[in-house]
Structures are given as structure tokens and as C-alpha cells.
């Protein structure tokens, strides 16, 4: 795909303020609007302008776009570097009035294809509510099970007093509601991008994701754990202690349990309105045979048991 220099398309320098971006868009939109313009290729230029503004009008999209190497030339073959937009999430509709399906592959690869709405002229003036900022935060499973307050640090674009976009690290104390699930959001009112002309700031939307856990995995509201057991515990039955995010519990292993058997602790999953369950998946683990005594025990079992686990295979 070909690289797009959105600043060049809008006749701007990379350090242009957000107000300059808005003014440039209004000026060029009047110049190239297909209904009024007599310019050659006005329709194509209007679409290209709309695509450039789709990125540069949003502080979070602009800040991510600015991470790309500025030495790229327009129309050069381009491949996004890995993890170039890490830490940014891009959601919500655009307001350029362009048809999202007409945007270039360059924009689609960088940000995905967002929907659009007709231009609201008042919204592109100097008085507008700040944009909402979307980002993802990772918490531990125990934070959801117990509910807590966490300090998080994240990168977020801000517009300074002179109207320039800067990416700053922010530290926030956030309350983690008990039972929150991956994919759900926490909204922090007024913590998004600042408004224009003194209007209110947007909101910060934190999408929740769970850190990988060494013991547990989550599916919807249920929690799963692989539990190692010995062959005799599985065959004869046993009562053993099992760790859960709420603390250890005594679990009864029924006799004749098999590899992969699931045991359920009802209501011990995520504490949502309808609590999930905690599932223990049995994993039978064989003892090692590092000593002569251990090897002798396995040889005794070999002679004592008339057992062929492959009998059903017919070979």
C-alpha cells in the first residue's frame, strides 16, 4: 500500500495546532467540494482531504500517526512497523462527511474503517466538547474477584495551552468494580481530550483486559484451573486443598476420575450479578522414575496389572 502524508495533503506542518488543522480543513473543504468547485479532480481531492482530516482532527489518532517515521514520502510503498500503535485504541465515528468505504488502504490498515456522519459546521468551530479517548488497561484476575482501587499509568494525547498535541504519561487511581469482565469499560468523565473554546473535556474509556495468570483462565464469567493429581488420587478418590482466587478450599476427588474430568465449584467464578462457576480440570501426573527403587515399582506395576490401554485400537 502507499504512504499518505496527511500533513502535506492539508498544507500543514507537523507541529500545526489543532485550531490550524480545523481552519485548514474548512478552507480546503470549501475549495474542493464537488458541488461548488471547478477545480480539476475536485472530488478526488475532497475525499483525500476528508481522509487526512479523519486522522489529524483526533488527538489520539494524530499522536499515533506521528509515531510513524516522518521521512516517508507520499505514494511510497509502505508497511506499518510492528506495534506502531501500541497503547492506542481507535473507536467511534468520524465527522468528515466522507464515505468510510472510500478511504484508502493506508487508513484502513492503520486505524480500521470507521463510520462517518455528515459534517456539522458548528462542531468544527472553536466551541466543541473534547473527544473521548479509548485505551486498554490490564488488571489481575484477583482485582475483579475482590474489587479494588488500582493506580494505572498510560499514554494519552493532550492539547496544550497553545493548541499543540502532545503525548504525556498520566497516572490515575481507578476503582475496579467487583466482577468486571474482560471487554467491559470503565468511564472516567472529563478525563478525555480537552474541549475547544472552553467547552467540557471528553471522557476516558478504559477497556478492561486480564493479565495472563499462572494458575487460572477465564471464559465469560467462569474461571478454570488445571489441577495436577496422582494416578492413585484419581483412581481411589481423595480430598485435597485447591487454591482459588478467593482462597484455598477442600475439594473431593471422586473415585475413578479420569484425565480431563471437570469438577465444579458453583458460584466461585467472577462475582457478577449472576456469579460464574469455578471449574477444576483434572490432569493426571505420573511420578518420576529417577531412582532404581522407583523403576522397580513401575516394573512391579507392569507385572501386577493386566492392562493394555491400546486394546480399543485394534492393533
Asked whether 75 and 2 are in contact (CB, 8 A), the reply is yes
Q: How far apart are CA 279 and CA 266, in angstroms?
A: 8
Q: What cell numbers appear for 259 in the block?
A: 484425565
Chosen domain end from 111, 146, 163? 111
What pLDDT score was predicted for residue 256?
Answer: 94
Q: How far apart are CA 182 and CA 141, in angstroms?
A: 10
Which is nearest to 19 in space by CA: 195, 172, 179, 156? 195
Residue 121 in any domain: the answer is: no
Q: Is there a single domain that holds both residue 193 and residue 234?
A: no
What pLDDT score was predicted for residue 80?
Answer: 65
Chosen domain end from 111, 145, 167? 111
What pLDDT score was predicted for residue 284?
Answer: 95
| Complete DSSP assignment for 143-184 | HHHH-EEEEEEEEEEEE-TTS-EEEEEEEEEEEE-TT--TT-
Q: What tens-digit pLDDT sequence spans the chain (315 residues)?
A: 678 889 999 999 988 998 899 999 999 988 988 888 888 788 888 888 988 898 888 877 888 788 777 777 766 676 666 555 555 554 443 434 444 455 677 776 676 544 333 333 333 444 567 778 788 888 999 999 999 998 887 766 666 666 676 777 778 889 999 999 999 999 988 887 767 666 788 888 889 999 999 999 999 999 999 999 999 999 999 999 999 998 999 999 999 999 999 999 999 999 999 999 999 999 999 999 999 999 999 999 988 888 888 888 877
Asked whether 185 and 168 are in contact (CB, 8 A), the reply is no
Q: Is there a single domain that holds both residue 95 and residue 143?
A: no
Q: What total of structural domains would you count in the chain? A: 3
Domain CATH for 235: 2.60.260.20
Q: Is there a single domain that holds both residue 29 and residue 99?
A: yes
Q: Is there a single domain that holds both residue 271 and residue 292?
A: yes
Q: How far apart are CA 108 and CA 59, in angstroms?
A: 18
Domain CATH for 101: 1.10.287.110
What pLDDT score was predicted for residue 92?
Answer: 41
Residue 150 in any domain: the answer is: yes
Q: Is there a single domain that holds both residue 236 and residue 258?
A: yes
| Complete DSSP assignment for 89-102 | B--S-B-S---GGG
Q: How many angstroms separate the Cα of 150 from the Cα of each of 136, 209, 223, 272?
A: 14, 14, 22, 19
pLDDT digits (tens, 9 = 90+) for 291-304: 999 999 999 998 88
Which is nearest to 94 in space by CA: 110, 112, 109? 112
Q: Is there a single domain that holds both residue 16 and residue 107?
A: yes
Chosen domain end from 175, 210, 245? 210
Q: Which helix (H) or strand (E) holds 29?
A: helix 18-32
Q: Which helix (H) or strand (E) holds 234?
A: helix 231-236
Q: Which domain holds residue 86?
A: 6-111
Residue 266 in any domain: the answer is: yes
Q: Which helix (H) or strand (E) holds 282?
A: strand 278-284
What pLDDT score was predicted for residue 125?
Answer: 41
Q: Is there a single domain that holds both residue 106 and residue 11?
A: yes
Q: How far apart are CA 144 and CA 218, in angstroms?
A: 11
Residue 122 in any domain: the answer is: no
Residue 45 in any domain: the answer is: yes
Amino acid at each position: 500500500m502507499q504512504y499518505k502524508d496527511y500533513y502535506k495533503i492539508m498544507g500543514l506542518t507537523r507541529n500545526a495546532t489543532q485550531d490550524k488543522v480545523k481552519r485548514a480543513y474548512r478552507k480546503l473543504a470549501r475549495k474542493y467540494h464537488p458541488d461548488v468547485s471547478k477545480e480539476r479532480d475536485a472530488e478526488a481531492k475532497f475525499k483525500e482531504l476528508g481522509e487526512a482530516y479523519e486522522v489529524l482532527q483526533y488527538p489520539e489518532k494524530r499522536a499515533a500517526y506521528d509515531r510513524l517515521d516522518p521521512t516517508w514520502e507520499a505514494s511510497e510503498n509502505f508497511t506499518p512497523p510492528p506495534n506502531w500503535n501500541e497503547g492506542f485504541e481507535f473507536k467511534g465515528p468520524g465527522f468528515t462527511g466522507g464515505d468510510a468505504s472510500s478511504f484508502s488502504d493506508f487508513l484502513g490498515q492503520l486505524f480500521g474503517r470507521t463510520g462517518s456522519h455528515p459534517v456539522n459546521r458548528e462542531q468544527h468551530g472553536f466551541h466543541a466538547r473534547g473527544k473521548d479517548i479509548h485505551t486498554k488497561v490490564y488488571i489481575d484476575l484477583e482485582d475483579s474477584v475482590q474489587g479494588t482501587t488500582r493506580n494505572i499509568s498510560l499514554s494519552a494525547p493532550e492539547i496544550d495551552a497553545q493548541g499543540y498535541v502532545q503525548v504525556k504519561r498520566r497516572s490515575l487511581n481507578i476503582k475496579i468494580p467487583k466482577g468486571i469482565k474482560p471487554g467491559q469499560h470503565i468511564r472516567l468523565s472529563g478525563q478525555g481530550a480537552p474541549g475547544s473554546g472552553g467547552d467540557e473535556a471528553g471522557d476516558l474509556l478504559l477497556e478492561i483486559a486480564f493479565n495472563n495468570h499462572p494458575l487460572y483462565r477465564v471464559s465469560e464469567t467462569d474461571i478454570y484451573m488445571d489441577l495436577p493429581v496422582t494416578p492413585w488420587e484419581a483412581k481411589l478418590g481423595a480430598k485435597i486443598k485447591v487454591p482459588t482466587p478467593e482462597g484455598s478450599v477442600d475439594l473431593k476427588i471422586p473415585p475413578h476420575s479420569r484425565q480431563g474430568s471437570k469438577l465444579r465449584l458453583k458460584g466461585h467464578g467472577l462475582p457478577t450479578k449472576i456469579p460464574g462457576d469455578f471449574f477444576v480440570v483434572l490432569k493426571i501426573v505420573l511420578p518420576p522414575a529417577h531412582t532404581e527403587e522407583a523403576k522397580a515399582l513401575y516394573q512391579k506395576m507392569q507385572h501386577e496389572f493386566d492392562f493394555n490401554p491400546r486394546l480399543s485400537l485394534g492393533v
